[in-house]
Amino acid sequence: MTERENPRRSPPSRDVGAPRSSPSRIFVTGTDTGVGKTVVSAALMLGLEALYWKPVQAGTKEPTDTEQVRSWTGLPSHRFLPEVYRLREPTSPHAAAELEGVEIDPARILRSAPPAGGAPIVIEGAGGLMVPLNAQSLLIDVVVGMAVPTVLVARTTLGTLNHTLLSLSEMRRREIPILGVILNGDAHESNRRAIEHYGNTQVLGRIPRLDPIDRQGLLRAFGALDWEEIEGSP
């Protein structure tokens, strides 16, 4: 059965609750750890002239995500907000916190969130939406509490359809405004079409593998995204 023949599906459309203009706050989440959230966040930060905030950082032995984005973009320190939790071990936030005798408090993260209406800000999550923060709370609970329009970053490779569609389904169940999906990796057009069709959302574009990752490459990557689909929506 083709897309046209399938009566259960409609063409990709803006999700209910998604903004009609480029939002002042954007949450960047992913289908998995290492899927490319930090690269996408850096590209959005440059393209939107935004601030960057990573509320929960797990892993400080290598450059942190904040340090990495600052290195790639060359932007000054005042464009980067401090982490609420900065944990040493590069593991799930709840596990990293337990190792240090710390309990992550989602309410503290929400209290630390900059108010809407100021300078644009890109907020990068830790891992995927269902990553535990403590014994009771998941990262998605923070996203819901922030009520921030969200970009989902996904791989282009085998397995991405299941991960992406499950993430989109849970985002809709929790009524998170979805801006769209950004793919990260080599071109795979059939996966892109399937995500738009079965996920009933927009794929805003694909960021290829950048080597090196630098300011110019990130700006080119942002320029290739269909961001006008957000800014120019009726």
Mean pLDDT, rounded, for 89-95: 97
Q: Which of 25, 37, 54, 70 is catalytic?
A: 54
Task: Give the CA distances from residue 25 to residues 101, 111, 179, in Å, rounded to whole numbers and listed in that order.
Answer: 31, 15, 11
pTM of the model: 0.89
Euclidean distance between the first and the last CA atom of the chain, given in angstroms as a whole number: 32
Distance of alpha carbon 119 from alpha carbon 181, whole angstroms: 23
Mean pLDDT, rounded, for 209-224: 95
Does position 86 have pLDDT exceeding 70, yes or no? yes
Domain 29-226, CATH: 3.40.50.300
List the domain boundaries for the chain.
29-226
- For residue 5, the model assigns a pLDDT of 33
61 is catalytic: no
Rg (CA), the chain: 17
